[in-house]
Structure 1
């Protein structure tokens, strides 16, 4: 048996913002009894810490130092994963739009990505891991037996975000959200470090017009086929 075969299996789910990968990853982890890595939360936590310290978001050296020394952990609360930064639950804070935009800029920096790489790999524990992000299958877990690249049209992703914010009582322009998503996609796909792209051996799924259960069943079928569980 090879070293790769001995290590806990990873289901890598990559894709752009708003594709539904976070929801699918959480549901999949619950069904399989696997650990869950929301890699985007690490970049959001870095961004939030930088904003709170009023750091220059173009200063890679400072942001890399922040990323390398973050006091973070994740806790399971009522079926949700709580992000704890320096002892405080900041799960809601890291979902604010200003943090999302800052996280996209921070994630484009090679130094920050290098600082967070091993932290992400440390989540690989028995019996297995579902990892949600943008470079899980290409950079962080290139040996993952299941790699999914989940996408949806920019219009669909903007509409989903619009509905989420409206349910929370947040007033926002659908047009502005669409522009933000397109801008974020461009940054993520064209960044120097681990640009957003499907791994060569990833299965690409388009969730436009498909409900969560439909997507979940497709991914679960891949898990049964390649890992033999689920």
Structure 2
């Protein structure tokens, strides 16, 4: 739990897709009574908007058309007292479940490479975090959004492990998907995220690496909380 005499900090969690960044970030925010900002959900919401408006299809995006629509996109997080979680709203609609489905996953990396989209999202994220006491996860939080963050963590796991976790998550929701398709998507997203010109995925020089391929959720949380304690006590 948060200690009253400790100054609040910014915790930036970056890393590869499907390595559990959001799960860890949400749990840490809850334990510390911090605000959780899901940057990935923001890009997924933009992607869903593009899909709904036929701006994205067949893993291609009409960049000019999407940029022209940015002023028509409103993204916000609302706390659900039933689930004790923040949920993502796109133009007033709860899209928390829809943005996690495979069609969005297949298009989100191309959308996230668009410089105008990233600039808009980064500005919004920085505004959300100006008072600190936040946890944010994504691809460029420690390098672009909050390079001044007091604690930076870079999460990763082997591609096969991440694909299996994603497969289990989707099938548990009743979706019909193949492991091979998800693995291919994970590998391709790694390639796109790491090679894009605007804000590529990379480890910040002062980030701590957390490879969770072979550790469970409780072990991850304990490790992160130890890093938070060391940082706030420094």
Quote the residue 2:88 is aligned against. Answer: 83
d(CA) in 2 for partners of 1:147 and 1:197? Answer: 12
Q: What is the aligned partner in structure 2 of residue 119 from structure 1?
A: 124
User: How far is the alpha carbon of 1:69 from its aligned partner?
Assistant: 3.8
User: 2:39 — aligned with what?
Assistant: 39
How many pairs were matched up? 223
Q: Secondary structure at the match of 1:197?
A: coil
Equivalence for 1:136: 141
Equivalent runs, 1:180-219 vs 2, <5 Å = 180-219=185-224
Aligned counterparts of 2:232 and 2:62: Cα–Cα separation in 1 = 42
Match in the other structure for 2:61: 58
Please, which moves more after superposition, 101-110 or 59-68? 59-68
Q: Deviations over 1:56-86 (max 9, x none)?
A: 5533233233334412210111222211112
Task: Tell me the TM-score normalized by structure 2.
Answer: 0.90
**Paired position in structure 2 for 1:19:** 19
- RMSD, matched Cα: 1.7
Q: TM-score, with normalisation over the residues of structure 1?
A: 0.92
Preserved contact between residue 39 and residue 125 of structure 2 (Cα < 8 Å): yes
Query: Using the alignment, how far apart are the partners of 2:35 and 2:233 within structure 1?
Result: 17
Q: Deviations over 1:153-202 (max 9, x none)?
A: 00000010111112112221111111110011100000001111110000
Q: 1:102 Cα shift?
A: 1.3
> 1:8–1:125: 8 Å Cα contact kept in structure 2?
no
What SS does structure 2 have at the residue aligned with 1:227?
helix
> Contact 2:10/2:132 (CA < 8 Å) preserved in 1?
no
Alignment check: 8 A CA contact 1:61 1:111 kept = no
Structure 2 distance, partners of 1:212, 1:83, is: 23
Question: Displacement of 1:212 after TM fit?
Answer: 0.7
The match for 2:111 among 106, 110, 130 is: 106
